[in-house]
Amino acid sequence: MNFGLYLLQRLALIVPVLFGLTLLTFTLSHIVPGDPALLAAGPAATPQMVEQIRQEFGLDDPLPIQYANYLKGLVTGDWGRSILSRRPVTADLKVFWPATLELVLAAMAIAVAIGIPLGVISAVAHDRWPDHASRVFALMGVSVPAFWLALLLQWFIALRIDFMPIGGRIDTQIGPPDHFTGLYVIDSILARDFTALKSALIHLALPAFTLSMAPLATVTRMTRSSMLDILGQDYMRTARAKGLAERTVLLRHGLRNAFIPTLTMIGLSLGWLMGGSVLVETIFDWPGIGLYAVKSALTLDFMPIMGITFVYGVVFSLINLLVDVLYAFVDPRIRYT
């Protein structure tokens, strides 16, 4: 199959997936008990004020009409307005999305930078102490709840030894760097504002490390398992018999062939981190989509919840597509011809 045709087919398959996601999200949001107009109006509001809010946000229309209007808005770029902030959902997402993206990318970078070497070392030292140590570490990574680890790091590192800030994204006395991408670390580098860069990295460290623990453990275990299967293959023994350096044998012949399952897990973990950042952002007061989602859910603010879910659906679908495309570059035997 031609690569361009394959790519178009995969992109076309995303459409029904997103349609089903919007239908499911809309249905679940509107069957939840409670009246968002009443919550937005406040306890002292009169029935007339509540009805005015319903009319303003279209909550008095029948559900099929509300859903049709929502789909029309998705296509035209009008994702509705938040009852809480009274701002367009797209405007709020533009503010909160870069913070979540920066946190997720930093967590995934930590997971890959530590998990892959740890998995290779564990496989090479099979059934010896480095292997046992890495397996215990991986087991702890998938077992320890993120919220408990976040609170523990806040108590010990931020409060007891006062080494890092307890929350936030950057020091309020420094302020954010000049806006280029919305990612403070990258913007600080582009603006050559190294004071802001230092503050952004310090604030990013604890939440990124907390969020990285689960994917780090998963990447370590997947890399170890794949490498153990590869190390016993005939071509590995042939490569050693040719006199190649052990590092070359492990990295070029071993890890490259073992990397496809790990690459799949990295892609899935990156999508899961988007949704899993909610607790971490809430605990560290990180101003991202996760914190925005929590506030919207507590006030039954439907439009932001549906907008956030739609964004996550698009990102997860595109990540899966990107992983499939990268297969051909990691393993030359996979071609879209």
131-146 residue pLDDT tens: 999 999 888 888 888 8
Q: Is there a domain that residue 260 lies in?
A: yes
Query: Is 12 part of any domain?
Result: no
Residue 224 lies in a domain: yes
The predicted-structure confidence for 18-55, as pLDDT tens digits, reads as follows: 999 999 988 887 777 777 777 777 777 778 887 887 88
Q: What are the residues whose beta carbons fall under 8 Å from the beta carbon of 203, sequence distance 6 or more?
A: 164, 165, 167, 168, 169, 170, 171
**Domain for residue 53, yes or no?**
no
H or E segment and range at residue 14: helix 3-31
What predicted TM-score, i.e. pTM, was given to this entire model?
A: 0.85
In a domain, 33, yes or no: no
Angle among Cα 250, 252, 257 to the nearest 5 degrees reads 85
Residues in CB range of 167: below 8 A, 6 or more apart: 154, 203, 283, 284, 285, 286
In a domain, 78, yes or no: no
In the chain, % of residues over pLDDT 90: 25
Per residue in 155-206, pLDDT (tens digit) is 888 888 878 888 889 988 888 888 888 899 999 999 999 999 999 999 999 9
Using DSSP, state whether 242 is helix, strand or coil.
Answer: coil
Closest CA relative to residue 236, chosen from 223, 222, 252: 252
Range of the domain at 259: 90-302
- Output the pLDDT for position 206: 92
In the chain, the amino acid numbered 11 is L
> Reduced to 3 DSSP states, what percent helix, strand and coil does the chain have, rounded to the nearest 5?
75, 0, 25
Over 60: is that where the pLDDT of 1 sits? no
Query: For residue 114, is it within any domain?
Result: yes
Give the number of domains in the chain: 1
Domain of residue 214, CATH code: 1.10.3720.10
Domain-located, residue 130: yes
In this prediction, residues 74-89 reach a mean pLDDT of 85
* Cβ neighbours around 118 below 10 Å, total: 23
Residue 324 pLDDT > 90, yes or no?
no
